Chains A and B, each alone.
Chain A
Amino acid sequence: MDILRIKGLKKAFGEKAVIENLNLEVKANEIFGFIGSNGAGKTTTMKMVLGLLAADEGDIYVCGEKVRFGDTLTNRHVGYLPDVPEFYTYMNAVEYLKLCADITQVEKSSQGERIDELLKLVGLDGEKTKIRNYSRGMKQRLGIAQALIHRPKLLICDEPTSALDPKGRMEILKILKEITKETTVIFSTHILSDVERICDRVGILYGGSIVKAFDLNQDALGEKGIAIELDRAAYETLKPLLDIQHAEGTTYVVANHSLKEIYDTLHDHEIYPSKIIKEQKSLEDVFLEVTS
């Protein structure tokens, strides 16, 4: 069963359509990268999944149950980490997590153990100060702890690393990677290197819908072309013969030709390149390709 299923979702703010016929399925125990440019509608989609915003059209199912705006029933399956989580800053971490545990009906007898376990996971164990004194990174880590307090089946992270320094980002990514044994993660971001680092599957949101969804491995990303390192004279010779798409220094990328065709052309013109490499597309290449 899909943990999250979205069918024909539409949302407009006034005249401006933000989400148009969005369809998406997320399977259990994967980290799904939900990527798109700023303003693409990632947060709007997440908020509709959480029942915080009303959809104009379409259906959302979490763990097979339909999400209804204003009703929080399906949220018992979900944990949510916003980009900038806000807390009751007069509390300390344990007090806040205790409040969250009570709200999510975690058994009283197991609350202490669960809170200790989570604080250890996010590196806030032994932290007694009030949340008002926390750094941004500490707040983000507490945000993960609060989102996981009730062992949700689905964790929705809305740009959790965008406001953090590199060290803070690495810490959050490491924690997210660790929790997938029991939780499916939707990782919404525009930082593609973070997605490449931890995600199993990716969906690209563009023009209000998912324009491409794929497993994040080299085969799925596809081949960018064949990079050949040549001198200028050899390049001039090959230019009319091969589809040379772009050049970086003395390295030229040839597309739309098989390796055999390229070898034959080089051989026929007695050109001997110093390097030939099969280049794979990066996530950034794919993203730019489908969004341009």
Chain B
Amino acid sequence: MRQISALFRKELIESWRNFKSMAFLIVFIIIGVLSPFTALIMPDILSMVMEDSGIKADIPESTALDSYTQFFSNMNQMGLAIFVIIFGSILTHEFSRNTLVNLVTKGLKRTNVIVVKSLFLVFLWTLGYVISALVTYVYTLYYWDESANHLVLSFAMTWMYGLFVISLIMLASTFFTTSFIAVLSSVLALVIVMLMASIHPDIAEYLPQYLIGSNIGLLAGEIESGDVLWSSVITGAATLVFFMLAILRFKKVPMN
């Protein structure tokens, strides 16, 4: 336990002193603020553009659903990508700089390395995501004062997908010791799963991507909460399996 707490403290100090966690939190707060704001001003922007083009159309007023649509659109693409870019090298940079050797040769359990790095990423992702989601929620409530169906579940789906991405990165980092290749292989794996969903649409609702593709459908009442059950179970199971595989694989990684 002392090894875990010491290593976790080290991760906190590292991400604070190299400004990574600060940059990440600022970006996520900006996403939280910008999403409802963009939804709010979008009708005005559209009507101005149309007026300039000489097109006459009635632009409907924005709703709370537009605000959440903006949020999920930003978070599921940009937010996750920024998170992966900033923290995707959390394990591989220790390989490239050989900094783990001093600690492992002191009896630091390799399992603890993966556990702590995974916990740290989960902690940061949760912190950043919850702050961002709360900011969007509060602003949406302030501007529109409307409720939405299954809002907590909808938020939880993207959060869960984030955990899946973290587990994938950890696993890839134990196979590829350079950050770029580890991140690239994780992205490739995600793309392959997306392709699988396009080739066989009947399996799409069982895949992790279904979670981040269904936030708005769930809020709009187009699908029911039970419809995301299987993708949630499969994503959760895949996340756990990837974490376990990362631990097992890391025990057998030579350190030069």
Binding site for B on A (CB under 8 A): 47, 50, 52-54, 69-73, 75-76, 78-80, 82, 85-88, 90-91, 95, 99-100, 102-105, 143, 146, 149-150
Q: Which residues of A contact B10 (CB under 8 A)?
A: 88, 99
The answer to the question of B53 belonging to the interface, with a C-beta cut-off of 8 Å to chain A, is no
The answer on a CB contact under 8 Å between B102 and A86 is yes
Interface residues of B in 92-114 (CB under 8 A from A): 97-99, 101-110
The answer on a CB contact under 8 Å between A82 and B101 is yes
The answer on a CB contact under 8 Å between A52 and B105 is yes
Q: Which residues of A contact B57 (CB under 8 A)?
A: none
Given A47, A53, A75, A86, which contacts B99 in the complex, CB threshold below 8 Å?
Answer: A86
The answer on a CB contact under 8 Å between B6 and A72 is no
Interface residues of B in 172-213 (CB under 8 A from A): none
The answer to the question of B225 belonging to the interface, with a C-beta cut-off of 8 Å to chain A, is no
Q: Which residues of B contact A105 (CB under 8 A)?
A: 2-3, 107
Q: Which residues of A contact B56 (CB under 8 A)?
A: none
Q: Which residues of A contact B2 (CB under 8 A)?
A: 102-103, 105
Q: Which residues of B contact A103 (CB under 8 A)?
A: 2-3, 6-7, 103, 106-108
Q: Which residues of A contact B7 (CB under 8 A)?
A: 103
The answer on a CB contact under 8 Å between B106 and A47 is no
Q: Which residues of B contact A75 (CB under 8 A)?
A: 104-107
The answer on a CB contact under 8 Å between A52 and B255 is yes
The answer on a CB contact under 8 Å between B110 and A102 is no
Q: What is the CB-to-nearest-CB distance from A142 to chain B, in angstroms, rounded to a whole number? A: 10
Beta-carbon contacts of B1-30 to A below 8 Å, as 1s and 0s?
A: 011011101100110011000000000000
The answer on a CB contact under 8 Å between A54 and B109 is no
Q: What is the CB-to-nearest-CB distance from A185 to chain B, in angstroms, rounded to a whole number? A: 15
Given A76, A79, A86, A95, which contacts B101 in the complex, CB threshold below 8 Å?
Answer: A86
The answer on a CB contact under 8 Å between B252 and A88 is no
How far apart are the CA atoms of A90 and B19 in the complex, in Å? 11
* Chain B residue at minimal CB-CB distance from A82: B101
How far apart are the CA atoms of A87 and B2 in the complex, in Å? 20
The answer to the question of B77 belonging to the interface, with a C-beta cut-off of 8 Å to chain A, is no
* Chain A residue at minimal CB-CB distance from B3: A103
Q: What is the CB-to-nearest-CB distance from A75 to chain B, in angstroms, rounded to a whole number? A: 4
The answer on a CB contact under 8 Å between A150 and B106 is yes
How far apart are the CA atoms of A50 and B256 in the complex, in Å? 11
How far apart are the CA atoms of A87 and B98 in the complex, in Å? 8
The answer on a CB contact under 8 Å between A87 and B99 is yes
The answer on a CB contact under 8 Å between B97 and A86 is yes
Interface residues of B in 60-115 (CB under 8 A from A): 97-99, 101-110
Q: 10 pairs across A/B with beta carbons < 8 Å? A: A47-B256, A50-B105, A54-B254, A71-B251, A72-B110, A80-B101, A99-B9, A99-B103, A103-B108, A149-B106
Q: What is the CB-to-nearest-CB distance from A51 to chain B, in angstroms, rounded to a whole number? A: 8
The answer on a CB contact under 8 Å between B106 and A70 is no
Interface residues of B in 119-158 (CB under 8 A from A): none
Q: Which residues of B contact A71 (CB under 8 A)?
A: 251
Sample of 4 further A-B pairs with CB below 8 A, known A71-B251, A72-B109, A143-B102: A72-B106, A79-B105, A86-B98, A95-B13
* Chain B residue at minimal CB-CB distance from A146: B102
Q: Which residues of B contact A47 (CB under 8 A)?
A: 255-256
